[in-house]
Amino acid sequence: MNGVRMRQVAAVFRLEWRRTTLSKRAWWIYLLAAAPVLIALMHWVTMRGARLSHSVGEDSVIYAGLFLFLFLRGTIFFGCVGMFSGLFRGEMLEKTLHYALLTPVRREILVAGKYLAALAASLALFVPSAALTYLMLGRHFGPAWTDYLMNGPGLSQLGYYALVAALACVGYGAVFLLCGLLFRNPMIAAAVVWVWENLNPFLPSFLKKISIIFYLRSLCPVDVPAPPPFSIMAIETNPAPAWLAVAGLLAMAALLLVYAAVDARRAEIDYGE
């Protein structure tokens, strides 16, 4: 990519960054990112100085469940729906997309700039949220927690959770950017993706692999089995190797973005639709 293209991507990035982040309209996404931190903060405050009835290990398993059910299936998923599906569809509804399309910028650059801006915003929100929640959840253990982080598996787990949160933003971001481009109402597509992702534990092995959550779960350092009564319906499958999960997710995101760029080249505006 030559210098001009890079500058164009940076310009689109700056514009979109200002539009998607720090806007009043995104209040609910900030709330989503803050909710798990608030739970961990409450745990820290209420357990500090209290007689503890649980161990560091138990809290790490609790975090694994919280990460899977609240972060991956809740806050990050819906946060990405809000941030990425609006990149094109939002401008369409506000009748401002033609300004972007009339500039002497290739559509692929527009897609790349918008995606990178929303990705940066989602990473800035959800990765620190996951890390802060992890760090605060066991903070009330004091030195034992520090020891768990420094000499135990704590830091490595934290790294994995941060990586999984980042990859979730990359993967879901690409999916919902494409949904925003392809569908008039990206909510319908998002609902279908959500149902598919939540059905994942109950799907046969080969179908499990056609999802994002399968690869994200494979990277999680602590496994969380499906809770009863759903556990009897869950089908066990070997997790994907870490290299395959990371490379596969990045490749899938790249493919979706390429398709989005190709689709954006053909895109025409009809505000009256």
Partner 1 sequence: MAVYKKTYRPYDGPLTPAWRRVAVIPRYAFDDLRRSRFLSLFFLASFIYPVICTLLIYVQHNASALELLNIRNASQLISINATFFLSLLGWQSVMALFLAAFVGPGQISPDLVNNGLSLYLARPFTRLEYAAGKASVLVVLMSLMTWVPGLLLFGLQGYLEGSGWAGANIRFAAGLFFGAWVWILLLSALALAVSAWVKWKPVAGALLFVIFFVSAAFGTAMNAVQRSNWGYLADISYLVGSVWVRLFEGGARTTSGAVFFRVPIGAELPLWQCCAVLILLFALCLYLLARRIRGVEVAR
Task: List residues near partner 1 by CB under 8 A.
Answer: 25, 28, 32, 35-36, 39-40, 42-43, 46, 53-54, 62, 65-66, 69-70, 73-75, 78, 81-82, 85-86, 89-90, 93, 137, 185-188, 190-191, 194
Minimum CB distance to partner 1 smaller for 82 or for 248 = 82
The distance of closest approach from Cβ of residue 161 to partner 1 in the complex, given in angstroms and rounded to an integer, is 15
The distance of closest approach from Cβ of residue 41 to partner 1 in the complex, given in angstroms and rounded to an integer, is 10
Place of tokens 């066991």: 138
User: For residue 209, what is the DSSP state?
Assistant: T
Minimum CB distance to partner 1 smaller for 141 or for 240 = 141
Place of tokens 């994942």: 200
Cα gap 196→10, rounded to integer Å: 35
Minimum CB distance to partner 1 smaller for 84 or for 245 = 84
Torsion-angle region of 49 (φ positive above 0: left; ψ -120 to 50: alpha; else: beta): left
Minimum CB distance to partner 1 smaller for 225 or for 241 = 225
The distance of closest approach from Cβ of residue 186 to partner 1 in the complex, given in angstroms and rounded to an integer, is 5
Cα gap 18→120, rounded to integer Å: 12
Minimum CB distance to partner 1 smaller for 22 or for 251 = 22
Minimum CB distance to partner 1 smaller for 51 or for 150 = 51
Cα gap 43→200, rounded to integer Å: 30
The C-alpha torsion from 182 through 188 and 192 to 193, rounded to 10°, is 50
Tokens of 49: 């100085």
User: For residue 208, what is the DSSP state?
Assistant: H
Q: Which amino acid is at 10?
A: A
| DSSP annotation string for 64-77 | HHHIIIIIIIIIHH
The distance of closest approach from Cβ of residue 187 to partner 1 in the complex, given in angstroms and rounded to an integer, is 4
The distance of closest approach from Cβ of residue 145 to partner 1 in the complex, given in angstroms and rounded to an integer, is 15
Minimum CB distance to partner 1 smaller for 155 or for 188 = 188
On the CB side of 194, CA atoms within 13 Å amount to 16
Minimum CB distance to partner 1 smaller for 138 or for 248 = 138
| DSSP annotation string for 7-63 | HHHHHHHHHHHHHHSS-GGGHHHHHHHHHHHHHHHHHHHHHTTSPP-S-HHHHHHHH
Are 126 and 167 within 8 A, CB to CB?
A: no
The distance of closest approach from Cβ of residue 81 to partner 1 in the complex, given in angstroms and rounded to an integer, is 5
Tokens of 236: 């066990």
The distance of closest approach from Cβ of residue 241 to partner 1 in the complex, given in angstroms and rounded to an integer, is 29
On the CB side of 158, CA atoms within 13 Å amount to 19
The distance of closest approach from Cβ of residue 36 to partner 1 in the complex, given in angstroms and rounded to an integer, is 7
